[in-house]
Amino acid sequence: MRTFNDFDWEVLDRRKHDVQDFSSGFSVFDEHIRIDAILQQSNGLSQTRVFTNGKHILAYYTAKCTKLQIDDTEQSGIGSKEKTVPAIEIPMLAVDQRLHRQGIGEELLQEILYQSVTISQLVGCRYLFLRAIKLEWLIRWYKDFGFKEIPFEVIDEFTQPMSFKLPTVQELSEEEFESLF
Amino acid sequence: MSMKPLSYNPSDVFVPSKVTGELAKFFIDDLAEPATREAEVIREILKKRAQRNEQITRTTAWATFSEVAASRED
């Protein structure tokens, strides 16, 4: 496994990061970081972070706020008068295909989980949602990180929605909570 | 290398805005359980990050020490 000590996570900045060089092998992910991620970020609709050495992008993810709204007749089961459950959505995440099988995917997922749980300790957020490409080994990999398959058929046949329930303040110790910041 | 198309629109909501039926039951049941496994995963990540930060600190300290030692030799 390679180490990437010269690389760090930064907010996407098109003046600094070479978005044209990024190549995931899937046009939808590459077009997203070149166009949509920058547009959405400039409008405050989503935020994209990149794993970079200042120029080259090894991996990225886009995150935004979302919510889960349980139907009125069934909301009593969520243990609150609130009908909605706050969540974080990762609409896009990708690793440069030239760096597959070098531990970048794990770095990416750990960063997403770390940042999500940090946010959840500050503002109250119960879920992390993302879509996995429908490959058995990939879904199994996400499950190893505590994700669950959401039993919902999305509009496309290529992805599987996954959920990760963010631990509450009671489920992490005070020391663990402190170490997040 | 050819680009593979992936036909989904990232702007589409992938969990319905209002969940009902089987999906509502999935979330209600899930929310009723403690996030034990998830907390374990987070603990493991925190441990790995602490180890990595320690490694980086050691490497940086060694580099600084080597630089200082080299400048004294000069």
Pick the most confident of A72-76, A98-102, B13-17. Answer: A98-102
Q: Quick one: pLDDT at residue B10?
A: 46
**Contact check, Cβ <8 Å, A152/B59:** no
Beta strands in chain A (DSSP E): 8-11, 47-52, 57-69, 84-95, 127-133, 148-149, 159-165
The rounded mean pLDDT for chain A is 88
User: Mutation test of the interface with chain A: which of B2, B7, B15, B58, choosing the one with the most A Cβ atoms within 10 A?
Assistant: B15
Answer with the residue of higher pLDDT: A94 or A173.
A94
To the nearest whole Å, the CA of A16 is away from the closest chain B CA by 24
pLDDT tens profile A14-41: 999 999 999 999 898 999 999 999 999 9
Q: If we measure between CA atoms, which residue out of A47, A81, A48, A88 comes closest to residue A67? A: A88
ipTM above 0.90, yes or no: no
pLDDT band for position A99 (50/70/90)? Answer: confident
**Domains of chain A from N-terminus onward:** 8-179 (3.40.630.30)
> Quick one: closest CA in B to A132, which residue?
B14
Residue A168 DSSP code:
P
Q: Which residue from B24, B32, B40 is facing A70, i.e. has the nearest CB?
A: B24
pLDDT tens profile A106-145: 999 999 999 999 999 889 899 999 988 888 999 999 999 9
